Structure 1
Amino acid sequence: MVEEFRRHRRPVSGKDLAQAQGISIRTLYRDIDSLRALGAGIEGEAGVGYLMRPGFLLPPVMFTAEEVDALVLGSLWVADKADKPLGEAARKAMAKLTAVMPIELVDRVEAQYAVVGRSAQSPTEMVDMVIVRGAIQNERKLLIHYRDGTGKSSERVIWPFFLIYFNGGRLISAWCELRDDIRHFRTDRIGMLSEMPTRYPRRRHELIKLWREAEACETTYK
């Protein structure tokens, strides 16, 4: 209801509000009374229209894991590409959000497995990123068919722990069992991908730490 009010800068009829919420007029009136009891400045009356004054905030709401991913990626994108004041505002906004998030979602934010890089390419990919994000969050192995820069294909078992988003593409940072080391896999070079039932033996935070220690080195794509 609050979000619906915020979409309207001018008074909106009770009928339109009720239709947008999929509720009856009677329920709408009851909900408006409840919001007023919480401190919302809702002006107007039945048959005329309603308008909510700005400044009202509901208690912290629950974010889904996917919504957290979107918020993190969006904030990092702004912090990377906007001017300094706006970038700093993005970082402060994320700090405020994490202050009201459950601990399991705060962990998802602080891991920062979605980061922003730069690339002029716009590759075509067939990877289901829902599977990739799920494997990262659940620390599951992935089986992939990968084509390197020379066109050579190989089957890999990887332990994904990080995603790097570019302007036109993505990399999966992972421990590669074939190479016995951390490697970065371009998603447009992955022909097949499936999550394995096996959890990888090292914790994701440990792999991220290794990655950060080596991030000054040249990125390896093979």
Structure 2
Amino acid sequence: MRRADRLFHIIQLVRGRRLTTAAFLAQRMEVSERTIYRDVADLVRQGVPIEGEAGMGYRLGAGFDLPPMMFTQDEAKAVVAAVRMAQAWLDPVLARGAEDALGKILSVLPVEARVAAEALAVYAPAHGLPDDAQRTLQLLREAVADRRKVHLGYRDHAEQHTERVVRPLGCFYWGKVWTLAAWCEHRADFRSFRIDRVQHAQALEERFRDEPGRTLADLARHNEQRAREGSPTA
């Protein structure tokens, strides 16, 4: 990759993420972290408002933008494939949003790229996530965004029914199965809930704030530690 292309790609990656580490950029660019540090320093000298520092992560300052980037045929095909799969396994609101976004992308592509993307022979069956699981996914996803606690009625793998209040932290897709990662107030610990086993869910008025030891980042560290110890995750 030419250095000019690499610099442009760095801007695109930093713009598309809340915080981007040098390690992530180095892996994507297939260069050393030292090269990334030099590239970022050069971009800053050229007037690109990249904020942050080595070892912490980078983000793009407000008010900076670039002209829209034209998709290659492979990139357009990747978008079509992703949207087709998403429509089967997302909740209705996100599925419609994905379809609308795809229409906008295809409408501005050159004819050859659009035809190639639309003719992609990769499909997802229409019977993906069941209707009740779609509704539950949407409720939980919105609760995560709104920072609202949720009351769950849940049937576990042993067919035992429990009622509990959780702090929803994130929804994870594992290939035909969605799970909710949450802090369970009943167990005072992290728990994962299969969305297809949620019997009922209600978003509560009570909101929650990040507290040390109860965040999604804490859960990731918790699972990494358990993996190193050879224990199954919760």
Q: Shorter-chain TM-score: which interval?
A: 0.3 to 0.5
| TM-score (structure 2 length as normaliser) | 0.41
Structure 1 length as normaliser, TM-score? Answer: 0.43
